[in-house]
Structure 1
Amino acid sequence: MLSGFTAVIACTPARAQICAADRNGNGDASDEGETARCDAVTDGGSQCPIDRVACVAEPSGDYACPLGQQFPCGVTEAGSEPSCSPHACTAPDAPNGGIEQEPVVDDPGTPADGPIDAAGNCTGTIQIFSGRAVRCRTAGLGTTFSNCCKDKGKVVRDGNGSALSSAGATVAVAKGVLTGMKAAYTAFQAGATATQAASTGARALIIGIDPTSLAISVAINLMIEVLLQACDQQDMETAMLKGSGMCHEVGSYCTSKILGVCVQKARGQCCFNTKLGRIIQEQGRPQLKAFAGIGWGTPKKPFCRGFTAEEFQALDFSRMDLSEYYTEIEARAQGQIQADMKDRIDAYARTMGR
């Protein structure tokens, strides 16, 4: 209820607040138009503009919100009639009830658990086709409604890839692209056009990366697109690897909430050093009891460890469909590729005395 609108009350504007509402009923408020900056009202508070309606004058001279008495009526500083909204406002930095943020997944991959011998071989636990947990954010408030998971094209070139290597080499390529992007951002902020900035980034990129491992033209197009988005470093890494076919998507989860309403989602991924690594992980895990209870983990905490040598030797490759990978390999028979892979792992295991 609200009465006494005969006088305009001068007051200090309230601290900038925001609000969110799941208007389409899909379980979050990460779509455009479902978050808004609140308007200051003349009593010093704030009012959400989403689903706002005019208050109704009662015979007593008071005003009531037709949405329910629990929603206060107020006059916005830009308005003249009392109005109300069913959605609450909060300050982004409020200690209680502000924006809740999930930390960015920071998985460096499987750590080394043993020393390296003179030949460069690991003397600890061997992990084959080991991956790395990462995430990319879909369109939402945190990305200014840009889809950072969008397929950017095959930026990182894929070859056979060593089954025993981690995702580190491929991630190094992704980080190299990011180095170029940073140079592009610097030029962009200095007044260059998006194309000029991307050209600057391309020069930095080519200096720092073996060009045979990278699709330069796709990377340049990616730079131009990224210059106008709010995607962070891990968004870019993940999108590059995902677009190159090296990631398994575990699922979607909420990374940011306003008053308990989700305003930003992300997709958790396991990314590997090659497309082959991803395919064998996807088709090999169901064959092993060790993964039966865990699978791929959760979207928020993907489980991306590699196979042990014993687990890899237990895999039945005759039950795997590797056609997705074979189409990219020229002049090599399917049986030859399988034999080469198995022989390489067996030889390495014998060398390690396993």
Structure 2
Amino acid sequence: MRWRLSLWTALLLASSVALTAAPARAQQLCAADLDGSGDAEAARETAQCSETNGGSYLCPIQQVACVADAVGAYSCPLGSQYPCLTPATGGTPSCSPHACTSVTGGGIEEEDPVVDDPGAPNDGAVDADGNCLGAIEIFAGRAVRCRPAGLKTTFSNCCKDRGEIVKDGMGSSISSIGTKIAIAKGVWSGMKAAYTAFNAGATASEAAGAGANAIIVGIDPTSIAISLAINFMMDFLLSGCDQQDMEVGMLLGSGMCHEVGTYCASSILGVCVQKAKGHCCFNTRLGRIIQEQGRPQLASFNAMGWGTAKKPYCRGLTAEEFQALDFSKMDLSEYYSDIEARAQSDIQIDMKDRIDAYMETVNP
């Protein structure tokens, strides 16, 4: 029951922040940079304002009681520029140094559009044998974003590394960034299935099972760590993270993304309440490594580099650029260690399967 209450609390908070429900009167919020960090991303730095007599709103952050003079007139001890407002429920007038604004009608300024580049389309001309006749991009990436803890994510870190969920796919059928993202979207579908089951009265374990069944439909089991994906999915149920947060979180933890920078995605009256991190995500860990170490060798990337946090520059390498790379100057040790670790894991799994099959044969 405690888990269920926590889930509902998170979902209700996410719904209010995302404005999925329209209250009788527009909700008012305020924000303040209390720790001097330049933003208001901590939970205590944003608050819902309370209604006062006369239809105004009062921010509870650093709110103080007003002081009455000899004739009963109230003044704000923080300064005469801050009005004294009486709560709608009555009581002593109070004031706050922070203003309130409606969460609708532009009260929360959103960065638009959200970073979401599908990558280079596979729409070029081909010959009779299916060979590409147009421009070829090698190790092409996709520009995406994830959001650290802030107001819009119900103060959950949607960029958190949750382990290697999406496998590198060396020698497998997983060959394009579109396929990798499809895997991540499959987990998103699993999460929705788990919530539907949970909302219908299923236990947490039953909901996880429903989500797992949705995940594995249409997905090659060798391309994803199912158990980690289920934990990842259930973790996301308790947050305000969206589908792109989930996609990037999975690829980031699998070592397939390069972080370009951080920008403010949402603000209240000029105070940032939600940041976002722009990334270039690739179809393999090797693709990310070669892009990171190959770009500094190529003059064609001198002007653009990785682009900006809001507009990551994630194009692939041309055939000419790829041929110009000096691999002797690259440190591929990260990739080699990944191959070695994966090979040992595959050997152990293979040996266990063979032993189990033998034991079933000799002990029917």
Partner of 1:335: none
Partner of 1:260: 270
CA contact (8 A) 1:137 1:147 kept: yes
Give the C-alpha shift of residue 186 in structure 1: 1.7
CA contact (8 A) 1:55 1:84 kept: yes
In the alignment, the residues of structure 2 paired with residue 225 and residue 154 of structure 1 have an alpha-carbon distance, to the nearest angstrom, of: 15
| CA deviation profile, 1:214-247 (whole Å, cap 9, x unmatched) | 1011011111111111111000000000000000
The amino acid that maps onto 2:83 is P
The amino acid that maps onto 2:93 is P
* 1:1-354 matches, cutoff 5 A: 15-95=26-106, 98-102=107-111, 103-112=113-122, 114-160=124-170, 166-330=176-340
In the alignment, the residues of structure 2 paired with residue 24 and residue 168 of structure 1 have an alpha-carbon distance, to the nearest angstrom, of: 41
Give the direction of change, closer, same or farther, for the CA distance of 1:180–1:310 in structure 2 (3 Å limit): same
In the alignment, the residues of structure 2 paired with residue 331 and residue 69 of structure 1 have an alpha-carbon distance, to the nearest angstrom, of: 67
CA contact (8 A) 2:169 2:175 kept: no
In the alignment, the residues of structure 2 paired with residue 245 and residue 185 of structure 1 have an alpha-carbon distance, to the nearest angstrom, of: 28
TM-score by length of 2: 0.83
Secondary structure at 2:272 match in 1: strand
In the alignment, the residues of structure 2 paired with residue 183 and residue 205 of structure 1 have an alpha-carbon distance, to the nearest angstrom, of: 9
In the alignment, the residues of structure 2 paired with residue 89 and residue 191 of structure 1 have an alpha-carbon distance, to the nearest angstrom, of: 39
Secondary structure at 1:93 match in 2: coil
Give the C-alpha shift of residue 166 in structure 1: 4.0
In the alignment, the residues of structure 2 paired with residue 122 and residue 153 of structure 1 have an alpha-carbon distance, to the nearest angstrom, of: 36
Give the C-alpha shift of residue 250 in structure 1: 0.7
Q: CA RMSD in A?
A: 2.0
CA contact (8 A) 1:160 1:276 kept: no
Secondary structure at 2:217 match in 1: helix
The amino acid that maps onto 1:114 is G
Give the direction of change, closer, same or farther, for the CA distance of 1:233–1:130 in structure 2 (3 Å limit): same
Aligned residues: 317
323-332 vs 225-234, which moves further? 323-332
Question: Greater helix share, 1 or 2?
Answer: 2
The amino acid that maps onto 1:261 is V
Give the direction of change, closer, same or farther, for the CA distance of 1:129–1:14 in structure 2 (3 Å limit): closer
In the alignment, the residues of structure 2 paired with residue 156 and residue 51 of structure 1 have an alpha-carbon distance, to the nearest angstrom, of: 45
Give the direction of change, closer, same or farther, for the CA distance of 1:194–1:231 in structure 2 (3 Å limit): farther
Give the direction of change, closer, same or farther, for the CA distance of 1:165–1:215 in structure 2 (3 Å limit): closer
CA contact (8 A) 1:130 1:165 kept: no
CA contact (8 A) 1:109 1:166 kept: no
135-144 vs 191-200, which moves further? 191-200
In the alignment, the residues of structure 1 paired with residue 128 and residue 191 of structure 2 have an alpha-carbon distance, to the nearest angstrom, of: 37
> Kindly, what percent of the aligned residue pairs are identical?
68
In the alignment, the residues of structure 2 paired with residue 104 and residue 50 of structure 1 have an alpha-carbon distance, to the nearest angstrom, of: 30
Give the C-alpha shift of residue 67 in structure 1: 1.4
Give structure 1 regions of 4+ aligned residues with deviation exceeding 6 angstroms.
Answer: none
In the alignment, the residues of structure 1 paired with residue 341 and residue 257 of structure 2 have an alpha-carbon distance, to the nearest angstrom, of: 26
Secondary structure at 1:192 match in 2: coil
The amino acid that maps onto 1:28 is D
Give the C-alpha shift of residue 14 in structure 1: 6.2
